[in-house]
Structure 1
Amino acid sequence: MILPIMAYGSPVLRQESVDLQPDYPEVDQLIANMWDTMYNATGCGLAAPQVNHPINLFIVDSQPTYDAMTAEDKALYYDGDQGVKELFINPHITYFPDRYWSDDEGCLSIPGLVGSVKRPWQIAIAYQDENFVSKNAIFSGMTARMIQHEYDHLRGKLYLEHLSPLSKQLMNRKLSKILNGKYASKYPLKYV
């Protein structure tokens, strides 16, 4: 089922999420709905707070992005990484290197806007899978960027916080339209 995505200005997007427990009601259905919702919106990641569940859960599918890249751009991926389709429960990023890079980011909760964000090139992350089995992994390049973006959502942060003051100022008119429910999106948005 396709869920409405919480629009910029929704309080849940600024709330720190709590750990997901195995007995969370209908978590399997929530996860299935999140995949449907993300693909319907042509997204590459979605965090549970974006569908009004302030829990430590997000999904990422960087495979379509990887498949659409040129051979030169594919060098932005870690050795052997051809994109991932992964569910992250109760994640904790455990390592950020000193190497950073900037690239454009957008957000399904802030449709129609993109901004250049500087993020670490690589991360190590500890998390649980859909069976609550603990995992540790290292991701680089675009996949690491997508994971960091979704991880920020669990901390009540938006990519806007990584932008320069001038970049944010240039977005004010469009952000105001979203805040006031006057932005026409191609997917269901929920304004609060």
Structure 2
Amino acid sequence: MAILEILEVPHPGLRAVAKPVAAVDDSIRAIVSDMFDTMYDARGIGLAATQVAIEQRIVVIDLQEPESDEKDAKPVRVPHVFINPEIVSVSDEIASYTEGCLSIPEQYAEVERPARCTIKWLDGDGKAHGQEFDGLMATAIQHEIDHLNGVLFIDHISRLKRDMVLKKLAKARKAA
């Protein structure tokens, strides 16, 4: 178990475009394991390898949704690994979601993205998959694939809102 350092804006590594994973082997599985440990430790629901200074196309996601609608329902871990994920298609329908990011801590903004997307990827054993996602999973996978392409969620909002988010982050860092 290793907790990796999560890069934060304005680190230039967050703008790196990740390279495809050539082969899913034990070294890739070790990276995936460390990424899950890091994501859970940071209380996130998704993490792209570029956020931990690994320029490979690897994403981990676990929405950790509660098992019921009851007030004190415990979240259930359902980890997903996406190696070399690609967006195959997206819906014309748009969904709006308040997004945050471990690389832009404690800052949130409303982002519009396609409501559904079809993704193809390899799992931790190198097996190919393809599936359509909707809801929070569609938002999360699009957000993380953006990271692999050097794009942050604040790139999807207006310049004014982006400047406000970055000023709030700077103020929070100064106070800490």
| TM bucket normalised to smaller | 0.7 to 0.9
1: CA distance, partners of 2:80 / 2:142: 13
Matched positions, count: 170
Could you list the runs of 5+ residues in structure 1 that have no partner in the other structure?
72-81, 185-192
Secondary structure class of the residue paired with 2:32: helix
Pick closer, same or farther for the CA change 1:130–1:16 going to 2, 3 Å.
same
- The CA RMSD over aligned residues, in Å, is 2.3
Which of the residues 126, 143, 146 maps onto 2:137? 143
Matches within 5 A, 1:26-105: 26-62=27-63, 64=64, 66-67=65-66, 70=69, 84-105=78-99
* Aligned twin of 1:10: 11
Secondary structure class of the residue paired with 1:102: strand
With normalisation by structure 2, the TM-score equals 0.87
Percent of residue pairs bearing the same amino acid type:
35
Pick closer, same or farther for the CA change 1:174–1:103 going to 2, 3 Å.
same
Give 2:23's aligned amino acid. P
Deviation at 1:70, TM superposition (A): 4.6
With normalisation by structure 1, the TM-score equals 0.80
Deviation at 1:125, TM superposition (A): 0.4
Q: CA contact under 8 A between 2:108 and 2:165: conserved in structure 1?
A: no
Secondary structure class of the residue paired with 2:168: helix
Stretches of 4+ aligned residues off by more than 6 angstroms: none
1: CA distance, partners of 2:84 / 2:171: 33
2: CA distance, partners of 1:108 / 1:149: 12
Give 1:144's aligned amino acid. A
Deviation at 1:68, TM superposition (A): 7.2
2: CA distance, partners of 1:156 / 1:3: 19
